[in-house]
Amino acid sequence: MADQPAKSLRLLFKGLCLILALALAAVAWRVIHNLRGRDFDPARSALQRQRVEVSRDPSELPNIVIVLADDLGHGDLSGPGVGLIRTPQLDRLADDGVSLSNFCAAAPVCTPSRTALLTGRYPIRTHLTLPLYPTGHPAGLALNAIGRYPYGVTGIPEDELLLPELLSRRGYRTALVGKWHLGDQVHHLPNDRGFGFYYGALYSNDVTPFAVYRNDKIEIPAPAPQEFLTRDYTREAVRFIQEQGKSPFFLLLAHTMVHEPLHASPEFRGRSGAGLYGDALEEIDWSVGEILRTLREQGLEEKTLLVFTSDNGPWWQGSSGGLRGRKNNLMEGGFRVPFLARWPGVLPAGAVRDGLAVNFDLFTTCLLAAGIPLPDDRIIDGRDLMPLLQGKAASSQDTFYYYFGHELGAVRSGDWKYHRRAMSDNGGYPIFRHGPFLFHLDRDPTESYSLIESEPERASRLSRMLDEWEAGIAANRRGWHR
């Protein structure tokens, strides 16, 4: 009997050793899986950047300004509640330029949408398919632990080519003012990825710690007050434009608002008829006016392409314009966003186009406007918006694939949209999967009436398109031209 405790201890020790061995094996498998699956190839990007020729006459290059709101709804500028919020500067922008009524973000959440805008590619190709969190943040650690960050990627890959990197090679001075949300480690920061100047926050304003940076240094430590963010971003954006002289520039003004928690400066708080959300949007409208005023004072209006849009649809507040769904959802309300573009002498005034376009089209549009050839070593999903904006083409994209995270959930071809079985916006059953559905978006823009029973052949064709697209992604996740 005296040997029984010793035997039990030996069994316990063996069991612990087995558990430890299994844990180490799982970690090793995960590391190997991640390294193999990432398919990183930074050398190819260096070669692509070298292909960009410095302009012999930079003063002839157009300036590019993209103003990006956060979580602004498709209907916030033109929906049924528009009278509650006064946006005279954005109204003027629409009167002076082109509006797109079928413009989609590439994702219904921030990080992948911003990645698409800057790379010209579907987020699934970049591994950034969900919002990122600061290094060490519990939410980020949890998402990584359960495999929600594909291959453990938590920063914009170094082999992706970003719009400011290519423009700076051409001779542009580049700046990001506002939200980044593409990583917080060395090699993944704005100044590392083509932006010569950076002022703003690395993450969304509901994530702690929330600090404001000037380039790679913290200027306003956490917790940074947020009521003056729009004012401060505008000040830095205006100063950047004023300092450029005759040098061409690319400015991405990425507002923190109207992301929750909402803030507005004392001058705008209480001014709108739509609560704090409307106040914050009216301050963004003021900011756009300051950009327009500065361009006019500097004599740069006719040399500048100015774009206003949003990274995805509305979250807790805001208007989807009657579209079904919101942020974090595969329905149109999560993807469809406002789009206004102004370029006097190049784009017509007061035009509205209803052709399909996606925010990764801005990558291609800006490069071609600057005389830069598209990278030829990878698939670029973006197409030139200019033919659509100028009324020379019916649409920019014929087909669009809808992702939530790394899951492919729907496809649009022309006016037809097919949903696989996926989480819908049904509040009573949020965790259950619904569908498949087939909607005609021109006749039924609210995705209310599925035609899958009356159009079975069309549904089957679109379902096959999803399968074929998914197989192509699986065969070449990064979209490299081998």
How crowded is residue 413: how many other Cβ atoms within 10 Å of its Cβ?
17
Exposure b/e, 141-173, CB count within 10 A at least 16 = b: eebbeeeebbbbbbbbbebbbbbbbbbbbbbbb
Sequence letter at residue 467:
D
Q: Are 301 and 293 in contact (CB under 8 A)?
A: no
> Is 110 an annotated catalytic residue?
yes
Provide the sign of the torsion angle of the four alpha carbons 472, 474, 475, 476, taken in this order. positive
Are 363 and 380 within 8 A, CB to CB? yes
End-to-end CA distance of the chain: 69
Give the span between the Cα atoms of 280 and 272, in whole angstroms.
9
**Cα(197)–Cα(243) distance, integer angstroms:** 12
Q: Which two tokens stand for residue 429?
A: 């059953």
Q: d(Cα 408, Cα 124) in Å, to the nearest integer?
A: 9
Cβ atoms 292, 88 nearer than 8 A: no
Provide the token pair at 379.
């698939």
Annotated active-site residue in 104, 110, 188, 419: 110
* C-alpha distances in Å from residue 328, one per residue of 110, 253, 312, 333, 418: 10, 23, 9, 9, 18
Beta-sheet pairing, 351-353 with 103-104: unpaired
DSSP letters for 35-102: HHHH---HHHHHHHHHHSPPPS-GGGSPEEEEEEESS--TTTTTSTTGGGS--HHHHHHHHHSEEESS
Name which of 70, 69, 71, 73 is nearest 321 in CA terms: 73
Give the C-alpha separation, 160 to 322, whole Å.
Answer: 36
Report the length, in residues, of the chain: 482
Residue tagged active-site, from 74, 127, 181, 406: 181
From residue 374, alpha-carbon distances to 214, 384, 467 in Å are 31, 11, 28
For residues 326 and 71, the answer to whether their CB atoms sit within 8 Å is no
Active site residues: 110, 181
